[in-house]
Amino acid sequence: MPAPTTSPSVALVTGGTSGIGLAIAQALLQDGFKVVVTGRDTGKLDTVLRSLKMENDRFHVAGYACDVRDRAAVRTMVEQCVTEHGEPRILVNNAGRSGGGVTAAIPDELWLDVIETNLNSVFWVTREVIRASEAIKQPAGRIINIASTGGKQGVPYGAPYSAAKAGVIGFTKALAKEFAQAGGPTVNAVCPGYVETPMARDIRAGYAKLNGVSEEEVLAEFEAKIPLGRYCTPEEVAGMVRYLAGPAAASVTAQALNVCGGLGSY
């Protein structure tokens, strides 16, 4: 008689179609999770899903187009995930955007969209997953929020981004302590510093334009701030998520863990 098989746990990763989110999805797939990713661009989502399936035909991967700023869309996405793939045991809130400028010149629309995308969406998605999934509420459940060292120490010309990421860290710690008292999941934040992603390149372009310098000069200035002297990779950030998602991190909760080459030391 064959040994009984256990269905793989479901990991839901928002913003999983590029950069850090895609690296996280790849890492969790390699660890045997059934991974469900979200993204706003349907064409990009389809391309990424095909690519991930081609990497290994044994990967359990699926995805939904979802604007995480939209509460109704988030609710529908979570319901579909539970119905079609199972209750998430792992939630990685990664969806986000850059945004800033001279604070006095920041338009209301930019401030509100950064807060909606980077902070409010973390609450919308987390609340819906908690409501829909018993698996996430067990001791083996994991909620991992991608924050930033910018949420700890501030980023010049990045007030909306820094404010949103600081909020993510505060939300993470509050929820972690709430669940710890009830014997529930661990809840942690991962705080990348400078990471080489498409968003990082857009940020450098924005700084270059704002300060009237070349993007190469901006890159050199940023790298000079990092004790290791280089940007981190998306795979290095995913490595921290991979650790937090596993059993070895069962006693790690209410933490905001840096992956930043020494840029932040608290």
Q: Which residues have a catalytic role annotated?
A: 161
* 12 contact partners, CB below 8 Å, separation of at least 6: 35, 36, 37, 38, 78, 81, 88, 90, 91, 92, 125, 129
Element containing residue 193 per DSSP (H, E): none
Residue 144 to residue 237: CA distance in whole angstroms: 12
| Amino acid of residue 199 | M
Residues 9 and 89 sit within 8 Å (Cβ to Cβ): yes
In DSSP notation, 231-265 reads: PBPHHHHHHHHHHHHSGGGTT--S-EEEESTTS--
| Joined tokens for residue 151 | 């949420």
Q: How far is CA 160 from CA 27, 78, 106, 145, in A?
A: 30, 27, 9, 18
DSSP state of 159: H
Burial of residue 180 (number of CB atoms within 10 Å: 0-12, 13-18, 19+): middle
Cα 142 from Cα 189, distance rounded (Å): 11
E strands within 87-201? Answer: 88-93, 142-146, 186-192
Q: With beta carbons less than 8 A apart as the criterion, state whether 261 and 230 touch.
A: yes
